Amino acid sequence: MEASGQQPAGSEPRQPTEEELRAYEEQIGKLRIEDLVLQSAVSILNLAARRIAKDDERDLEQAKVGIDAARALTELSPEAAQAQLRQALSELQLLYAKHAGEEGGEVGGEPGGGGEGGEPRSEPGPAPSEGGGKKPGGPGDSPLWTPPGT
């Protein structure tokens, strides 16, 4: 498929033309940071969901990082998209809780739950009171684990 513009393996990449550079500069000039933040949040949510749902790619530690990152980016995303991002986060947390519970309730896989940086509670239920967890009051209040700082 070299006709699609991809370089053959081992060949030097070609330099962009003056016209391509101008078009790129024009695109960058129109790009809004909020749009990039939103796209990043969506990409992180998709990858975190994959790290939970696909058996051969399951990595609940990475999913936790993704949930935390997407939650932080939600507040910086355009206001019109925030409700959808919160809904996706909520669904992702449910999926996380389901799979963490199937794996014996421990994210790190070690009995006793002592992973680096303090592991979240993996099963549905109140979050630990020290430093981690549940958002007090408001629409996000639920018995599910939520990332710290929210």
Kindly tell me if the per-residue pLDDT of 105 is higher than 70.
no
Q: Tell me the whole-structure pTM to 2 decimals.
A: 0.59
3-state secondary structure of 32: coil
pLDDT tens-digit profile of 41-89? 999 999 999 999 999 999 999 999 999 999 999 999 999 999 999 999 9
Residue 38: CB atoms within 10 Å: 21
pLDDT tier for residue 108 given thresholds of 50, 70 and 90: very low
In the chain, what are the domain boundaries?
31-109+121-150
Q: How many CA atoms lie within 13 A of 88 on its CB side?
A: 22
DSSP assignment letter at 3: G
